[in-house]
Structure 1
Amino acid sequence: MSVDRAAYQQALRADGEAIAVAGRRDLGTQVPSCPGWTMHKLLAHVGRVYRSVGRHVAERATQMIPADQIPRPPEGNAIVEWFEDGHRFVQEALDGADPDDAVWTWAGPNNMAFYFRRMAHETAVHRWDAEAALGEPTPLDPDLSADGVSELYELVLPFTVANWDVALPATSLHLHRTDGDGEWLLVNDSGRIRMSHQHAKGDAAVRAGGAELLLLAWERIGLETPGVEVFGDAGTARAWFALSR
């Protein structure tokens, strides 16, 4: 599923604003989809990510800016305004960037296009976390979500597997989107993730809408969720989805 720059930027703007709205409602509420986090912690995490990415983008940094140079979040109600400032900062930085411009990224490719995509998906999933903590979350966009599934298995998890002691499932998983285009076959290729977009049989298959597949892949919802169909070995599906913990 191809998503353009404008769609990424629109999602970053709208979902970031929704996180701030959730924060104003109750900073102390627990966020069940992020165990151990309160709403304050969620805003602190995302706001600090915005400041880090915003600096890398604005400065066209080709080396990592150390974490100790990124401002720490404040305590109490000030976190909401601090989050909003970070949200504006990263948007403005990306507005002035060309997707092909060189910049350091933690997973590659080392260009601005990585951050357009990453910030949209980071914000969308955490917007869902924030709203789910307060009740019924508004749905994720299914096309953007399908792109998020691809990003997770193309970039995010391969980086995790390559840099930490993460064992991949020995069995394969096929994902099939039911509300638009999107199929993914996930295979353990000598300890590395090999993802392909094809209709092929895996040891397990999961069929669901694009939003549900993204939430499954990030372990935000379970296989028992209405609208999710599982075929074959459910343990295989759970093992692949557990990689995003």
Structure 2
Amino acid sequence: MNTDTYLQHIDTEGRTLIDAVAAAPEAAVAACPDWTNRELAKHMGDVYGFVMAQLRAGNPEARTPPDATPAPDTGDIAPWFRERHQDVLATLRATAPETPVWTFGPDKTAAFFFRRMAHETAVHRWDAQQAAGALTPIDSELALDGVNEVLEVFMLHRRVNEPPESSLHLHRTDGEGEWMLVAKDGTLTVTNEHAKGDAAARGSAQDLLLYLWGRGRGSLECYGDDALIDAWGAVTP
């Protein structure tokens, strides 16, 4: 997936997120129990501010403090978030993907944030729409890339919880895509292959993506020990 495609998704997903927040600002966000859509919009605006700071600094050696443009304490938050969304898009468009920048992943170029913001925006758009009661699906190819990002970046380099000592096979059903995750002796490996795991989950790229981000099993077909499946689904949120 190239940077132009990521920018298109950031644009369209962000606009849809704004619409969901504007429609139901006080709706509770199921994946983030302490948030309403208003808090979700504030989080996204703050994330955009952080990303803009890294891109503008162009310093791969050190994290730059985020651009602090606070959200309004009261009233309609959608205009503030709309401005932040347009600002991050403009900043990304003005930055060459190969520009060295600080990131929390192995890729220390601006390309990291093109990809990251596409998935951050898409998943939180899904959250906001779920809260508002009007869901539309995440693009299947974007979701596939999102699964790969979770596994390549977050599972291997930024996980919140350690996976259970076991193996998990993931199988995409709306196109090509299979992964084998093995946690053994404190080491996690991820490969693209068809193999039998201690547990398995089959479903669309979207359902696999949302499962890996702690949004539950959705329509996944799951096999094996339920505790293992739940534990693997709690590694990265």
| Aligned residue identity for 1:242 | A
Q: Tell me what 1:23 maps to.
A: 21
Q: Tell me what 2:229 maps to.
A: 237
Deviation at 1:130, TM superposition (A): 0.2
Is 2:169–2:181's contact at 8 Å kept on the other side of the alignment?
A: yes
Is 1:168–1:192's contact at 8 Å kept on the other side of the alignment?
A: no
Give 5+ residue unaligned stretches, structure 2: none
Q: Tell me what 1:124 maps to.
A: 122
Give 5+ residue unaligned stretches, structure 1: none
1:113 aligns with 2:119: no
Residue of structure 2 aligned with 1:88, choices 82, 86, 90: 86
Residue of structure 2 aligned with 1:202, choices 181, 193, 197: 197
* Distance (Å, rounded) in 1 between the aligned partners of 2:201 and 2:225: 10
Q: Tell me what 2:63 maps to.
A: 64
Alpha carbons of 1:47 and 1:192: their partners in 2 closer, same or farther (altered >3 Å)? farther
Q: Tell me what 1:169 maps to.
A: 164
* Distance (Å, rounded) in 2 between the aligned partners of 1:56 and 1:78: 28
What SS does the aligned partner of 1:146 have?
A: helix
* Distance (Å, rounded) in 1 between the aligned partners of 2:45 and 2:163: 31
* Distance (Å, rounded) in 1 between the aligned partners of 2:186 and 2:141: 29
Deviation at 1:188, TM superposition (A): 1.2
Q: Tell me what 2:182 maps to.
A: 187
1:8-64 deviation digits (Å, cap 9, x = unpaired): 111100010111111111211111121110111000000110111012113323321
| Aligned residue identity for 1:64 | R
* Distance (Å, rounded) in 1 between the aligned partners of 2:186 and 2:119: 26
Deviation at 1:110, TM superposition (A): 0.6
Instruction: Calculate the aligned-residue CA RMSD, in Å.
Output: 1.6
Is 2:49–2:88's contact at 8 Å kept on the other side of the alignment?
A: yes
* Distance (Å, rounded) in 1 between the aligned partners of 2:27 and 2:223: 36
What SS does the aligned partner of 2:189 have?
A: strand
Q: Tell me what 1:32 maps to.
A: 30
Deviation at 1:107, TM superposition (A): 2.2
Q: What TM-score do the two structures reach when normalised by structure 1?
A: 0.90
Q: What TM-score do the two structures reach when normalised by structure 2?
A: 0.93
